[in-house]
Amino acid sequence: MSSLPVETIASLADQHPKPAHITFQYGTAGFRTLGNVLDSVLFRVGVLAALRSKKQDGKVIGVMVTASHNPEPDNGVKLVDPRGEMLEASWEGHATTLANAATTEDFIAVLENIVKTTKIDLSKPARVVYARDTRPSGPALVASLEDGFKAIGAEARNGGVTTTPILHYYVRAMNTKGTKDAYGEDTEDGYFTKLSTAFGKLVSGKAPLPPLIVDCANGVGADGIAKISPYLGDHLKLVAVNTATTTSGALNNACGADYVKTSQKLPPSLAGHIKPGQRACSLDGDADRLIYYYMDDRNQFHMLDGDKIAALVAAFIVDLVKTAGLEEDIKVGVVQTAYANGASTKYLTERVPVRCVPTGVKHLHHAAEHYSVGVYFEANGHGTVLFSSETQAKLASHEPSTPAQSTALNYLKSLTELINQTVGDAISDMLLVEAVLAHRSYSGVEWDSLYVDLPNRLVKVVVADRHAFHTEDAERKLVSPKGLQAKIDDLVKRYDGGRSFVRPSGTEDVVRVYAEAVIRSHADDLAFRVAGLVYDETGGDPATRPKEFI
């Protein structure tokens, strides 16, 4: 068994010292903070990615440099495991420990401990593929990452500037190349060809879809939309807006999926440009989230978020499975979090099994894997559909007995190609939505009418210590502070259709309060009354008290 090249690692690590008085945390989104303090983290992640590859017998590990929907000054980095999935949870702790080692000597000691405790054979090869989004801090951080690869002698492929989902696609495609489970050609052309070919099969013979306005958040999704448009031919015309990827300060600024979801209104740049009933959608900064919307005849804004996407897609897949004669063999299920609108949960529960899990993509993805076809979309627009290997084998071997069964079977097969099953992918999900709309002959108005969202409100309460708040039942019930849940329950009973839950943020000292009710004013009132209870419990700073209670 080889040993670590300690001298080389130490020499390069000295060029990337950890800043004092900063504690880094690897969370669901990897490391994420101001880009100008991440130099040491990127170097260390480069070394860790190589170790992870060695632990996985030389399989390719992905590294994405992005801060997604965050403001432009932020940046971050996350690792991608061999099947294109998120980093194994136990290695999140290794990443955090490595990032916080105070000195080069401490860093080396942590590395040696990881090698020992996880029994890594250092003679194994290390292979990585990496990419970044369009943030100004990206090139310098990538240079630090490359020093990490160099320090440990990893074989590294630069994926350039691309979307997060394409990086995930690369990882799986590279690791399955030449096998019976080959995921696709490991190039951008391979990705766009795979998606567009499947989309073409799904919409062939359907009435042409009207043009779709796509808000690219002034991020890397603009490049993806520009590149895939020629592949789509006459099947779908994309009208890209907010494509200023080189304009300082433009990224995610008053545009993009997070802006639309949070503010529940059009990006200002689109005001006056969307005709009544016309569909539009917004990507986020790294193109892994998607939110749809339209304006009605009275010029009122209507949002079609992740819950609406899940409802549209799940019902469509259920219908195809039934038509194909496979309802006994293929069980479709949906996974949501507590943030899912209660009306969406009711609509879905009447059609498929629905499971609620704690907030975070890793929880949703893992739960979705337990179904033959698992559909998950967070309300924020991040999600995908997973087809189990058994399901894909069944689709390949099934012998249809009627033309209708044959057609439905072929549509299901095309869906497995259209959907990026490694991670939520705004471009793939956009084409999925468009395919379903074409099949249903739906406009945004008809899609929206599947169910009516319950009015809801999300309030943030600044607290001294978020760790004082503990939850259970997929974050829907507070365990501590003791007695607070009973007070919330008493409040909820006063509102028709009332529901509220409180959960601590995973990244900042705030507590998030979600509330919904049948009437908009009641949802707002319930949210702020619960926020008031949280505030009173913590004895917080009067300046941070929810404004309706000042």
Residues 141 and 15 in one domain: yes
Say if residues 516 and 491 touch (Cβ distance below 8 Å).
Answer: no
Residues 436 and 463 in one domain: no
Q: Which of 396, 414, 448 is the last residue of a domain?
A: 448
Give the whole-angstrom CA distance, residue 436 versus residue 375.
14
Residues 46 and 152 in one domain: yes
Q: Which of 301, 324, 347 is the last residue of a domain?
A: 301
DSSP 230-281: HHHTTS--EEEE---TTSTT-TTTT-HHHHHHHH-S--GGGTTTS-TT--EE
In a domain, 95, yes or no: yes
Q: How far is CA 371 from the centre of its chain?
A: 19
User: Which residues is 459 bridged to in the sheet?
Assistant: 513
Region class of 360: left (phi > 0), else alpha (psi between -120 and 50), else beta: left
* H-helix or E-strand spanning residue 365: helix 361-368
Q: Which two structure tokens, joined as six digits, stand for 391? A: 């399901």
DSSP 455: P
Strands (E), 330-467: 332-336, 354-356, 373-377, 383-387, 456-462
Residues 205 and 347 in one domain: no
pLDDT of 107 reads: 98
Give the whole-angstrom CA distance, residue 174 versus residue 72.
31
Nearest residue to 351 via CA among 332, 325, 368: 332
In a domain, 220, yes or no: yes
Say if residues 25 and 96 touch (Cβ distance below 8 Å).
Answer: yes
301-304 vs 332-336, strand pairing mode: unpaired
How many domains, the chain?
A: 4
Q: Which two structure tokens, joined as six digits, stand for 392? A: 């894909």
pLDDT of 544 reads: 55
Residues 293 and 327 in one domain: no
In a domain, 180, yes or no: no
Residues 381 and 336 in one domain: yes
Say if residues 67 and 285 touch (Cβ distance below 8 Å).
Answer: yes
Give the whole-angstrom CA distance, residue 485 versus residue 495.
16
Say if residues 137 and 19 touch (Cβ distance below 8 Å).
Answer: no
In a domain, 259, yes or no: yes
In a domain, 23, yes or no: yes
DSSP 510-529: EEEEEEE-SSHHHHHHHHHH
Q: Is the dihedral of CA 75, 81, 84, 86 positive or negative?
A: negative
Give the whole-angstrom CA distance, residue 482 versus residue 432.
45
SS3 content of the chain, % helix, strand, coil (to 5): 45, 20, 40
Give the phi and the psi of residue 393 in degrees, each rounded to 5. -65, -40
Give the whole-angstrom CA distance, residue 26 versus residue 37.
15
In a domain, 350, yes or no: yes
Give the whole-angstrom CA distance, residue 311 versus residue 451.
9
In a domain, 183, yes or no: no
Give the whole-angstrom CA distance, residue 23 versus residue 96.
9
Give the whole-angstrom CA distance, residue 274 versus residue 278.
6
Q: What is the CATH number of the domain that holds 339?
A: 3.40.120.10
Give the whole-angstrom CA distance, residue 322 versus residue 507.
43
**3-state DSSP call for residue 405?**
helix
**3-state DSSP call for residue 480?**
strand
Residues 434 and 530 in one domain: no
| Start-to-end Cα distance in the chain | 65
Does the active-site annotation cover 68?
A: yes
pLDDT of 549 reads: 45
Say if residues 528 and 472 touch (Cβ distance below 8 Å).
Answer: no
Q: Is the dihedral of CA 83, 85, 90, 94 positive or negative?
A: positive
Q: Which of 259, 280, 301 is the last residue of a domain?
A: 301
Residues 131 and 211 in one domain: no
Q: Is the dihedral of CA 190, 191, 196, 202 positive or negative?
A: positive
* H-helix or E-strand spanning residue 364: helix 361-368
The one catalytic residue in 68, 196, 372, 500 is 68
Digit-by-digit pLDDT tens for the chain (550 residues) are 478 999 999 999 999 999 999 999 998 889 999 999 999 999 999 999 999 999 999 999 999 999 999 999 999 999 999 999 999 999 999 999 999 999 999 999 999 999 999 999 999 999 999 999 999 999 999 999 999 999 999 999 999 999 999 999 999 999 999 999 999 999 999 999 999 999 999 999 999 889 999 999 999 999 999 999 999 999 999 999 999 999 999 999 999 999 999 888 999 999 988 999 899 999 999 999 999 999 999 999 999 999 999 999 999 999 999 999 999 999 999 999 999 999 999 999 999 999 999 988 889 999 999 999 999 999 999 999 999 999 999 999 999 999 999 999 999 999 999 999 999 999 999 999 999 999 999 999 999 999 999 999 988 888 888 889 999 999 999 999 999 999 999 999 999 999 999 999 876 778 999 999 999 999 999 999 999 999 888 765 555 555 554 3
**3-state DSSP call for residue 45?**
helix
Q: Which domain holds residue 197?
A: 188-301
> How many Cβ atoms sit within 10 Å of the Cβ of residue 505?
15
pLDDT of 29 reads: 87
pTM (2 d.p.): 0.94
**3-state DSSP call for residue 408?**
helix
31-34 vs 373-377, strand pairing mode: unpaired
DSSP 212: E
DSSP 494: T
In a domain, 179, yes or no: no
Residues 312 and 237 in one domain: no
> How many Cβ atoms sit within 10 Å of the Cβ of residue 70?
22
Give the whole-angstrom CA distance, residue 161 versus residue 374.
30
Residues 425 and 439 in one domain: yes
Strands (E), 296-359: 301-304, 332-336, 354-356
Give the whole-angstrom CA distance, residue 157 versus residue 348.
42
Nearest residue to 183 via CA among 163, 198, 201: 198
Size of the chain, expressed as the number of residues it contains: 550
The helix/strand count (H/E) of the chain reads as: 18, 19
Q: What is the CATH number of the domain that holds 505?
A: 3.30.310.50
pLDDT of 460 reads: 87
> How many Cβ atoms sit within 10 Å of the Cβ of residue 126?
24
Residues 297 and 314 in one domain: no
Residues 294 and 412 in one domain: no
Sequence-distant (6+) residues with CB within 8 A of 323 are: 404, 405, 407, 408
pLDDT of 2 reads: 74
